[in-house]
Structure 1
Amino acid sequence: MNIIENPSRHFYVFTNDHHKDTFQPQEDQELVNDYNDRCIRKACCWYQRHLPKEKFVFLTEDAENKRIAIEENIITFSVTEYVRNLLNNHDVEDKLAKNFTNYASAGKDIFPAHKSLVKLLEGIRVGKLYQGTYRASRENYLEGYVNVEVLDEPVIVQGREGLNRAVDGDLVAVELFTKEEWTSPTEIVLEDEGQVDGNIDELLEKEQEIKKAQKKKDEIKPTGKVVGVIRRKWRQYCGILEGGIEGVYQLFVPSNRSIPKIRIETRQAEFLKTQKLIVTIDSWPQNSRYPHGHFVRALGKIGNQDTENEVVLLEHDVPHCQFSEEVLSCLPKLPWIVTEEDEKRRVDLRNITICSVDPPGCTDIDDALHCRDLGNGKLEVGVHIADVSHFIRPGTAIDLEAASRATTVYLVNKRIDMVPELLSSNLCSLRGGEVRFAFSCIWEMDQDANILNTRFHKSIIQSKRAMTYEEAQITIDDKSINDDLAFGLRGLNRLAKILKSRRLEKGALVLASPEVKIHMDSETMEPLDVEVKKLFETNSMVEEFMLLANISVAEKILADFPDCAMLRRHPTPPSTNFDPLVKAGTHLGFDIQIDTGKNLAVSLDKAVSETNPYLNTMLRILATRCMLQAVYFPSGTLQKEEFFHYGLAVPLYTHFTSPIRRYADIIVHRLLAVSCGSDSTYPDLLDKQKSSQLCQNLNYRNRMAQYAGRASVAFNTHLFFRGKLQDEEGYVLFVRKNALQILLPKYGLECTLYLSVKGNESLFEYDEEEQTQKAGDVIFHAFDPVTVRVSLDSKNIQHEKFLLQLVKPTIEGFSVKPLSELQDKQDMEVKDSNSTDHKRKAKTDGKNRKQKKKK
């Protein structure tokens, strides 16, 4: 519809059903499709009479419709015929969907046949088959699982027969094996190194590896095989062509490791191998190792920063087109001024010392704070949030666009705004020294951070200063600064420590995930350095008051809107999710209790080691991975006990504090405004079903935004390491059957150190029960410190990966010497060479002097 409505594309719509020369009544017993085809042919005849013949052609892929059209003297072609008769058609011909009906792989079927849809549905109805969504493993291309709603655990599928041409996201039918045949997830890390010719020898060899892998008795899971596909979830995929392949048949390698390689046909492979591409799947025959597809379009040169950003956004379904004229027309006109009417409706707080504290370079400042002494041992503390809902009214084009985007997406050197920049970085941003509209949550507290009363209202503020976390920390620590701003920050920091202590006592979790900061060259936009973000006390200070504001607002809107308050819950993870954490703790001599969040928090606090100061952080990283995703929901769709937020250990929570970058917060602002009498309600705000649909989109977009941010960091980290060779300190995070997962804290990286390589297959012994790898006297446990050499393997540009070599501990025949020793040796060789050159030069100079004297 967007293409058709674009006037520059010259599309026209002919309303043939309402035209006297083309209207056709439907005949008795005539099928709808046949009637539709007849109407189209009638319209074609009208066009042929009114246009010169060379200006008209009817395109159809329906063979029967085409046959009848030709009989009726309509100029008719299939799309393929039409494209192949165009001049210089190679780029367009590549974009045709390919059938590959003549394709054969050694004349054999590689995969079992899929059951018909009728048989699948019948099997599901009688309970012989189960329906679920297929999810591919990112670590092992011959393994995946099917999420079945009616089963407690996902069904493992392995090998060719198990996966049977399912692609990540497909809705499939799975047949369960008998319990004796159930297996456990494999510990093997496998990457697909197959080629376009479809040779399956490597496939069979890898399948045997999986079958030989020992089953962990305590990790046996339901196992089965995919017997058919109910609905494909194929989409357009970003990636590159595999290198080293000649001819018209090429292998496309998707960026997403969960998607198999795709076989395409192209006559412009030489050019396309320099480009990032979009490819779509057309079919996956039984006799082909890979699905077949076709080229859609090129995105730009491989390695180009803008191209990579585009890939990240497309792969994670992030809406990132320019805001339309319709959206921009909703923006206020500049210069923007505060009217008398605005002042009457709001509480004027411009005389209070308010400041914002954010990361460096932040332009979308949506929260500010204040703290002042009221006397009698009482303090007034305020959280002031940008009043975005003042500028974005329900049902307008800008509101619909913000609801669709749902969140701002942060890449390393780019930000995809949820709302136009005039709002996000200007009129809604609580910049220092500028008058802004806010929604304020204000508490009266005693000196022990107990809340005496709470009030909410729309306000006018003027932030005294926009500070970074570091600047705020310096102000707090510098005792020579004693102005109102410093007093307010010190009061906020002291109260925040009390609030945090109280939260932790109730069982709130302190988890960890290494957040990475990438320093960019301002001119070339190349990464200069990668480091884990430094945190200050002020980070925690701001976090505590944002949490408190969110909790206070949640209580208010639920009281006033028991059926349609937008809340946020964090479900309690099933106990099986904690298995890796409990096992790791047991191996280290720690008893990790998981029966309640409180006990988990206490267990993690106790799990410390004097010899390994980073051990506790790694346990918390592992605990983070055991968690379920927090989600938005309307209050009327769940029971009250399900509102609980597990990570924060609070019964009620919402999002109120970031409306510039989260649409959920805008909805919460609207609910709160109605509660306070600052605004009126509207039908969709109180519609439980529409709220539920909105929450589904918010949850999806938030998840994709997180993944996009991580992918952007990963790309730039790879860029930083290109051409570098470094020895780094790390820790074993997981022990696998053929590898060690290594965490490099300095860069927040998790990489794989492969143990099973040619020449040392028998060097290591894997102990499944103890989760260890042994080589001679060296035994690797989870969380052991190691030194590894890090380099970037760029042979596969699409899936560049970090190549690790063990430096310490030393294992004969496997470890490499430290770079420092190699450098010393190199320096010595250079020194010796220089010394020899000096002696040679002295000898030559002596000869020359003798000859000169002789002369």
Structure 2
Amino acid sequence: MLKSKTFLKKTRAGGVMKIVREHYLRDDIGCGAPGCAACGGAHEGPVLEPQPLDPASSLCPQPHYLLPDTNVLLHQIDVLEDPAIRNVIVLQTVLQEVRNRSAPVYKRIRDLTSNQEKHFYTFTNEHHRETYIEQKQGENANDRNDRAIRVAAKWYNEHLKKMSAENELQVILITNDRKNKEKAIEEGIPAFTCEEYVKSLTANPELIDRLACLSEEGNEIESGKIIFSEHLPLSKLQQGIKSGTYLQGTFRASRENYLEATVWVHGDAEENKEIILQGLKNLNRAIHEDIVAVELLPKNQWVAPSSVVLQDEGQNEDDVEKEEETERILKTAVNEKMLKPTGRVVGIIKRNWRPYCGMLSKSDIKESRRHLFTPAEKRIPRIRIETRQASALEGRRIIVAIDGWPRNSRYPNGHFVKNLGEVGDKETETEVLLLEHDVPHQPFSQAVLSFLPKMPWSITEKDMKNREDLRHLCVCSVDPPGCTDIDDALHCRELENGNLEVGVHIADVSHFIRPGNALDQESARRGQPVYLVKKITQPRIDMVPELLSSNLCSLRCNVDRLAFSCIWEMNHNAEILKTRFTKSAINSKASLTYAEAQMRIDSATMNDDITISLRGLNKLAKILKKRRIEKGALTLSSPEVRFHMDSETHDPIDLQTKELRETNSMVEEFMLLANISVAKKIHEEFSEHALLRKHPAPPPSNYEILVKAAKSKNLEVKTDTAKALADSLDQADSATFPYLNTLLRILATRCMMQAVYFCSGMDNDFHHYGLASPIYTHFTSPIRRYADIIVHRLLAVAIGADCTYPELTDKHKLADLCKNLNFRHKMAQYAQRASVAFHTQLFFKSKGIVSEEAYILFVKKNAIVVLIPKYGLEGTVFFEEKDKPKPRLIYDDEIPSLKIENTVFHIFDKVKVKIMLDSSNLQHQKIRMSLVEPQIPGISIPTNTSNMDISEPEKKKKKLEK
């Protein structure tokens, strides 16, 4: 059956266009109930169970199926995902609405409908002859969809009666819309709210905890006074933003101070790009990453960023008076130059809430069902939840979702979602850090795996088309010990004309991952692998399935592999005479570690082809590096740690900073050179559609702390250009303080901006500040970065090796891809640091109390941040303790320094600290540091100290990426 609509549309040119829309209706769409004679068994995929008696409902004791409306799917997805809920009919109308309103929920629903055990059946009611309805005149789309849902529910109940005369099977409509429920009951359809139905499941009382509370007003805390001002409606916010009264931006909560945040204003205007918010009332219930509207305060109310470290004590009562007293600490007299644009949140444009991992802080009231949940992410406020399982959830990692934030509550309201496991368990803690950093870590689906090549695999004649055979070359790889995903190899040989041929050979991953299929989409979603500290079940979260990453694409020795090669002809002064790119086949002659390669280079007795090749590469690399540094490339330092693990318990038994050799630098130089050469080539061919990588120059204000720190040691650091900075750092030496230069370079790293991917047609600034290169991209790690796969595809088209990539010239799609890749890169870095942090805590748990030398990196108003070189470990030593007499502290921002009694602390001063693990707060276990030397007469330095902030990305090193 065919229904069609015809209407006329006026074109921009003034003509009239006739539009015809056709809608096909069918009578062969199955209901999903097994054994239904009326349908003739016409259905595909997961179906409903024949006798859906579990769970048993006191409201509807007979067998039944559930039919939820759109709002139930959107807001009660946590309930629907519970194993107790099965046999659910998902209408096409509902699914389409969910898809338009929430992509994450839509994906979760699709996962449920593909899960055979859940028995979720998708019914295409919009194409079923008896359930399709037209929109009535004057009826809005929402009312039409509600009517379509009721029509489908009524049809189901009548249809199921035809199965047999004794059949008592019912379809129950689940809706939280009061009017929709009333109309359904009037039409003879069994209908309940989600809360009514869940509470009727007496065998599953734990489900009540998973109900989302949708009414903020109805969930306000008893007798609570109004704390926050009302959020303005979206229409007023949009008008205000358009007129310039309000500014729109992303809310970024502070990790160091729970009463402070910044809003990064959207748009091109440089003025007021960053707005400070201080105090609970000005934060006005915004949560980290929300899109908010802010109103600028008058200039006489502007404040400076606080140097005070403040952590929410998380009292069960809403003691706002104490908060206001604390806020006064922030507003101390400062230099007028330090004042920044300051504002307050007037409304929320878009909530960016997600499920949060953390722990329950059980209420002191014995019979209370209301408790506070402490998120693992410190930038998220505590969440008030109702649960009957508080005793069972104590000491466990759990997931909670936020439902709303009433105006009279100090904390938002939420509901329990999932119990992850015991605190301290390595697998549980790893799961938490992966979830918290939004790392896709589920096993690859069958749909993805179906696109892998069939084994055994070997290179065929078809594979060699448009490909050069380089298997005769003496190619070798140099990588860290234990590396299985080898994506780069090198060779160097002398040519007959006396010049040198140097080749960088990169795994041809794009040969196996074709654009648009499920494997390609999943690789793009993941963006890159995440390397964890010796995860028990898997050492890394791969971007591509292991068959590719550790086997077919890994350039292991003595096996034929497909590669993409960048080959230069150079003279002995490392000057490039010719460059060519080719798809190739190679056979690596050795897979070496950095130490093994270094040993060959240094050995006087070894003169085989591999060693000669390595020596040639090393010699050229030194020249390339020297030339790069002369142009102004930065060499920055950042402490990295390596764990030695117990082979049985997987606990860390030793921890030390990583050692770098000449061979590390050798490989790096040629990877950089290949990336620059490829960037030039793809930009020549695709000036508007090249995927490039840039590193913006930091604004001058970023360097203030570095300049002041150097000045305090009678040194001058110039920051006008990258060359000036590099030269200043090279000259900043002290005979009496050899570690000073390293500290300056670490501090310089903190001043840097983040390097990002971008589409050449959407940006004018290509420069890579850290590498002093006018153009740069990523080509050399396609196993580890999806960006490199796109670059390989661009390069393949540029050299005529492949022409089957249809979407390479859509710069808007490429810009969206870059945005996801930048996000994934940042989250992977943070997850890796969090993994290091957790294992550092395990190390010090077994180590006990340790005293070590440290250097001051930052001086705060009430604390010093120190770096312990031996462990590459950073932490904070506080000089104030709650409920104890406060020492007399004098903070000088200009030097910067902190005076305590007669002792003055400056940046880079050497101190001795005591290190131990503080497990008093299970949620935020931390490395505790207290001062041992210098001793301060008359002052007992408190020991309830710091967070070890290597788990906190903004306070940990921001390593300059290459």
Give TM-score, length-normalised by structure 1. Answer: 0.92
1:704-735 residue CA offsets vs partner (Å, 9 max, x unmatched): 11111111111111121125110011111111
- Which one of 396, 399, 410 corresponds to residue 520 of structure 2? 399
Name 2:247's counterpart in structure 1. 130
Measure, in 2, the Cα distance between the counterparts of 1:243 and 1:74. Answer: 42
Are 1:735 and 2:735 matched, yes or no? no
Contact (CA 8 Å) 1:788, 1:807: kept in 2 or not? yes
Q: 1:343 to 1:15 in 2, by over 3 A?
A: closer
Once the two structures are superposed, the pairs formed by residues 630-779 of structure 1 within 5 Å of their partners are 630-639=755-764, 642-722=765-845, 724-757=848-881, 758-779=883-904
Name 2:180's counterpart in structure 1. 65
Contact (CA 8 Å) 1:572, 1:628: kept in 2 or not? yes
- Which one of 276, 281, 299 corresponds to residue 179 of structure 1? 299
Name 1:215's counterpart in structure 2. 334
Measured after TM superposition, the shift of residue 453 of structure 1 is 1.1
Q: 1:816 to 1:119 in 2, by over 3 A?
A: closer
Measure, in 2, the Cα distance between the counterparts of 1:194 and 1:140. Answer: 14
1:148-188 residue CA offsets vs partner (Å, 9 max, x unmatched): 13334311000112111110111111111122221110100
Measure, in 2, the Cα distance between the counterparts of 1:269 and 1:502. Answer: 63
1:100-127 residue CA offsets vs partner (Å, 9 max, x unmatched): 6253365311222222323322222222
Runs of 4+ aligned residues of structure 1 deviating over 4 Å after TM superposition are 243-246, 815-818
Contact (CA 8 Å) 1:730, 1:788: kept in 2 or not? yes
Name 1:116's counterpart in structure 2. 233
Measure, in 2, the Cα distance between the counterparts of 1:216 and 1:225. Answer: 22
Name 2:153's counterpart in structure 1. 44
1:184-204 residue CA offsets vs partner (Å, 9 max, x unmatched): 101000000022222224312
1:110 alignment partner AA: I
Contact (CA 8 Å) 1:806, 1:814: kept in 2 or not? no
Measure, in 2, the Cα distance between the counterparts of 1:34 and 1:395. Answer: 37
SS of aligned partner of 2:569: strand
Measured after TM superposition, the shift of residue 396 of structure 1 is 2.0
Measured after TM superposition, the shift of residue 264 of structure 1 is 0.5
Q: 1:720 to 1:350 in 2, by over 3 A?
A: same
1:378-427 residue CA offsets vs partner (Å, 9 max, x unmatched): 21111111111111122222112111111111111221111110010001
Name 2:11's counterpart in structure 1. none
1:278-332 residue CA offsets vs partner (Å, 9 max, x unmatched): 1111111111110110011112222121212211111111111111112111111
Any gaps of 5 or more consecutive residues in structure 2?
1-109, 161-166, 944-962
Name 2:141's counterpart in structure 1. 32
The structure with higher relative contact order (CA 8 Å, sep 6+) is: 1
Measure, in 2, the Cα distance between the counterparts of 1:92 and 1:720. Answer: 39
Which deviates more from structure 2 when the two are superposed, residues 648-657 or residues 615-624? 615-624
Name 2:71's counterpart in structure 1. none
Measure, in 1, the Cα distance between the counterparts of 2:281 and 2:915. Answer: 37
Measure, in 2, the Cα distance between the counterparts of 1:244 and 1:32. Answer: 45
Name 1:147's counterpart in structure 2. 264
Measured after TM superposition, the shift of residue 447 of structure 1 is 1.2
Are 1:430 and 2:555 matched, yes or no? yes
Name 1:349's counterpart in structure 2. 470
Name 1:305's counterpart in structure 2. 426
Measure, in 1, the Cα distance between the counterparts of 2:649 and 2:564. Answer: 40
Name 1:22's counterpart in structure 2. 131
Measured after TM superposition, the shift of residue 562 of structure 1 is 1.5
Name 2:316's counterpart in structure 1. 196
Once the two structures are superposed, the pairs formed by residues 341-380 of structure 1 within 5 Å of their partners are 341-343=462-464, 345-380=466-501
Measure, in 1, the Cα distance between the counterparts of 2:860 and 2:941. Answer: 21
Are 1:628 and 2:753 matched, yes or no? yes
Which deviates more from structure 2 when the two are superposed, residues 147-156 or residues 736-745? 147-156
Name 2:346's counterpart in structure 1. 227
Q: 1:156 to 1:460 in 2, by over 3 A?
A: same
Measure, in 2, the Cα distance between the counterparts of 1:389 and 1:189. Answer: 48
Measured after TM superposition, the shift of residue 53 of structure 1 is 4.4
Name 1:79's counterpart in structure 2. 194
Once the two structures are superposed, the pairs formed by residues 285-324 of structure 1 within 5 Å of their partners are 285-324=406-445
1:215-271 residue CA offsets vs partner (Å, 9 max, x unmatched): 243321101111221221111111111256453111111111111111111000111
1:119 alignment partner AA: K
Q: 1:675 to 1:124 in 2, by over 3 A?
A: closer
SS of aligned partner of 2:932: strand
**Sequence identity (%):** 57
1:48-74 residue CA offsets vs partner (Å, 9 max, x unmatched): 223444543211000111112222232
Contact (CA 8 Å) 2:493, 2:502: kept in 1 or not? yes
1:365 alignment partner AA: I
Contact (CA 8 Å) 2:363, 2:371: kept in 1 or not? no
Are 1:264 and 2:380 matched, yes or no? no
Measured after TM superposition, the shift of residue 376 of structure 1 is 4.6
Measure, in 2, the Cα distance between the counterparts of 1:251 and 1:680. Answer: 57
SS of aligned partner of 1:9: coil
2:809 alignment partner AA: L
Q: 1:115 to 1:26 in 2, by over 3 A?
A: closer
Contact (CA 8 Å) 1:807, 1:817: kept in 2 or not? no
1:827-848 residue CA offsets vs partner (Å, 9 max, x unmatched): xxxxxxxxxxxxxxxxxxxxxx
Measure, in 2, the Cα distance between the counterparts of 1:438 and 1:26. Answer: 58
Are 1:330 and 2:447 matched, yes or no? no
Measure, in 1, the Cα distance between the counterparts of 2:142 and 2:941. Answer: 70
Q: 1:604 to 1:666 in 2, by over 3 A?
A: same
Greater helix fraction, Structure 1 or Structure 2:
1
Measure, in 1, the Cα distance between the counterparts of 2:129 and 2:191. Answer: 24
Measure, in 1, the Cα distance between the counterparts of 2:172 and 2:325. Answer: 53
Measured after TM superposition, the shift of residue 20 of structure 1 is 3.8
Q: 1:444 to 1:267 in 2, by over 3 A?
A: same
Name 2:73's counterpart in structure 1. none
Q: 1:633 to 1:767 in 2, by over 3 A?
A: closer
Give TM-score, length-normalised by structure 2. Answer: 0.82
Measure, in 2, the Cα distance between the counterparts of 1:316 and 1:617. Answer: 30
Which deviates more from structure 2 when the two are superposed, residues 129-138 or residues 326-335? 326-335
Which deviates more from structure 2 when the two are superposed, residues 618-627 or residues 806-815? 806-815
1:214 alignment partner AA: A
Name 2:573's counterpart in structure 1. 448
Q: 1:14 to 1:290 in 2, by over 3 A?
A: same
Are 1:515 and 2:640 matched, yes or no? yes
Are 1:238 and 2:326 matched, yes or no? no
Measure, in 2, the Cα distance between the counterparts of 1:83 and 1:33. Answer: 25
Measure, in 1, the Cα distance between the counterparts of 2:304 and 2:222. Answer: 32
Q: 1:454 to 1:102 in 2, by over 3 A?
A: closer
Contact (CA 8 Å) 2:382, 2:411: kept in 1 or not? yes
Measure, in 1, the Cα distance between the counterparts of 2:773 and 2:338. Answer: 32
